[in-house]
Amino acid sequence: MYIYVCILVLTCLFAALENKSRNLYLALFFVVFFLISALRADTVGYDLKNYIPLYNAISEMSWGGVFFFTDYELGYKLFNKLISCFSMDERCFFLCTSFVVLYGMFKYIWRFSKIFYLSLFLYVAFGFYSNTFNSIRSSLAIAIAVNSLLYINKKEKLKFSLVILLAMLFHTSAFFMFLAYPLSFLKINFRKAFLILLLSFVASFSVGSVIFSFAINHFFNEYADSDSTAISVGGGYNFAIFLTFILLGLYYKKEQQKNCKDSNMDLLLVLLLIGTCMQYFSPHFSLFNRAALFFNIHLITLIPDFIDSYFRKKSSLRYFYVFITCVFMSFYMISQVYSIDVTKYQTNSQGTIPYLFYWENSSF
């Protein structure tokens, strides 16, 4: 866990660099994040036990054989085959997947974040970064899908749809992102958000298990034995409740500041609302946990956007709220995301603790 704490400290220590050159700051930390991801051991990430053998198998196949290999999405298989053309060594797999995922995420932060260092801090503290070590297919899809927001803002439906279709070639759960375009035009206030979340909470307990048992048995057998916490960055109901407090707090504050109009923030709030609703149903259906990540990831730009928009002219308050956010999220990360206490809800389900460099350990 120490390496993740070190990243948090570094993002804050170099925050002054962002004031001088935002692009230089982001480029510097792209290198840091990339090296940590690309040089990790093959034990850092629970699902690598499946992805590494798959890469080795696809490396031995012909291009035609990849199309007839039925498991996994076509885009992900073709990407693996393309990587193997450079090298069949598994380290090449780590280098290429890490680069593509982080390029997509850093491009998203560059486009939409108003405070880079806080976005990177949250990216690590919420467990989204370490989740890329584990859930590689969905991480690739998320890195593609988050950049579709550009086309929602521009109201370019075709380009938005093409980006989501591309993401689906890496993980089919990206399909849920099609909800983002029509729902982004909804006008949601605090009262409506509260009622929607309350309805989701009640429904998840009353009819959730019945509905999703039917769905699993008839349409999604592959998720019948899935453990929904295995891909969680926070964990089922705990994370849903945590998101609910954040979301309602942001909506409440937004209504108090009626003179501050920010269409991008409105979009991000709606996306987080969708993700929070999905999170309530995730204990019943692990696919919803995966799908919720496509929406909850926007926390890393929503919170900085909120702080900058409402406290831009009050620099002391701006830094105070940034400081409080960093302190609170540090405790959250240590106690929830990277907790290895089996008596708690979280038990290092991502398999990212302990972090080891590849020269320190190898399991394949």
Of 148, 152, 143, 162, which is closest to residue 98 (Cα–Cα)?
A: 143
Classify 115 as helix, strand or coil: coil
At 183-208, the pLDDT tens digits run 988 889 999 999 999 998 888 877 65
Of 96, 354, 136, which is closest to residue 231 (Cα–Cα)?
A: 136
CA distance 134 to 45: 4
Q: By percentage, how much of the chain surpasses pLDDT 90? A: 52
pLDDT higher than 70, residue 161: yes
DSSP letter string, 119-141: HHHHHHHTTHHHHHHH-HHHHHH
Mean pLDDT of the chain: 85
SS3 content of the chain, % helix, strand, coil (to 5): 75, 0, 25
Q: What is the pLDDT of residue 229?
A: 38
Instruction: Dig out the tokens for 320 from the structure.
Output: 């105070």
Looking at the whole model, is its pTM more than 0.85? yes
CA distance 225 to 239: 21
For 217-222, the CB contacts below 8 A with 24+ separation are 220/285, 220/287
Instruction: Dig out the tokens for 322 from the structure.
Output: 């940034």
Neighbours of 198 (CB within 10 A): 11
Q: By percentage, how much of the chain surpasses pLDDT 70? A: 86
Q: What is the pLDDT of residue 64?
A: 86
CB 120 within 8 A of CB 29: yes
Q: What is the pLDDT of residue 346?
A: 44
At 287-346, the pLDDT tens digits run 788 889 999 999 999 999 988 887 776 777 888 888 888 888 888 887 777 765 544 444
| Residue at token pair 């109201």 | 155
pLDDT higher than 70, residue 258: no
Instruction: Dig out the tokens for 173 from the structure.
Output: 């759960």
CA distance 171 to 141: 6
Of 287, 325, 332, 289, which is closest to residue 305 (Cα–Cα)?
A: 325
Select the more confidently predicted residue: 228 or 224: 224
CA distance 325 to 327: 6
**Average pLDDT over every residue of 38-49:** 92
Instruction: Dig out the tokens for 131 from the structure.
Output: 């989740």
